[in-house]
Amino acid sequence: MRDGTNTRKRLERCALSLFVKKGVAATTIKDIANKAGVAEGTLYRHYESKDELAQHLFSSAYEEVSLQLKNIAQTHPTFEEKIKAMVHFFCEKYDEDPILFNYLLLAQHNQLKIIHEKEVSAHEFLVVIFNEAFRKKELAKQDPQFCAAIVMGIVLQAAISRVYGRINRSMMEDVDALIKAILGALYS
């Protein structure tokens, strides 16, 4: 009996790169099937619809990253260590699978609503961490949402610069600079 795992993986990778290159709406089932070298109908054996595929790609990656971020935050005692570890983790992950990460970055503006409902956004984690830091007097009290925006903004824009080819280094090569910038912005 044929094993569909391979086809499924191929479909996901092909869809991913097309979604990143052209956007979900502009990518057709035909595009994906052609690229994956299967018939159009095959996609529907694995996913109920194009949207479900787009969703699945987003959610599964997003949830995994979110969970790991949470873990990392918990295993580090001080605020500064938490931030360092999280940025480090993010850079590592990005370099590991830039296409998947690019999808995560670009898709967030369309699919984040769903994630919002699940209340597991990275943004919210950061808010929790900031509130804890304020309580422990590790950082001068400010709007945690504002602080979270700074951290997210710096890291995400660094990644987006890679999407558009403005920076070609790996994220890990900039990890220290990123951490320094973030802490500089927060402690300024």
Partner DNA sequence: AATGAATGAGAATTCATTCAT
Partner DNA sequence: TATGAATGAATTCTCATTCAT
Can you give the binding site for DNA, defined by CB under 7 A?
1-4, 6-8, 26-30, 38-46, 48-51
Distance from the first to the final alpha carbon of the chain: 63
Rounded CA separation 179/82 (Å): 11
**How many CB atoms sit inside 10 A of residue 120's CB?**
18
Number of residues binding to a copy of itself, judged by CB under 8 A: 39
88 binds, among DNA, a copy of itself, none (CB under 5 to 8 A by kind): none
* Interface pick for a copy of itself out of 70, 150, 170, 172 (rule CB under 8 A): 150
CB 15 within 8 A of CB 27: yes
38 binds, among DNA, a copy of itself, none (CB under 5 to 8 A by kind): DNA
Interface positions, 14-53, toward a copy of itself (CB under 8 A): 23, 25-26
Rounded CA separation 98/119 (Å): 25
Nearer of residues 22 and 136 to DNA, judged by Cβ: 22
Quick check: 157 binds a copy of itself (CB under 8 A)?
Answer: yes
What is the residue whose two structure tokens read 């194009």? 50
Nearer of residues 48 and 92 to DNA, judged by Cβ: 48
CB 40 within 8 A of CB 50: no
Return all residues near 41 (Cβ < 8 A) that are at least 6 apart.
Answer: none
**How many CB atoms sit inside 10 A of residue 63's CB?**
13
Quick check: 92 binds a copy of itself (CB under 8 A)?
Answer: no
- Binding residues for a copy of itself, rule: CB under 8 A, are 23, 25-26, 106, 109-110, 112, 116, 123, 142-143, 145-146, 148-150, 152-158, 160-161, 164, 166-167, 174, 177, 180-188
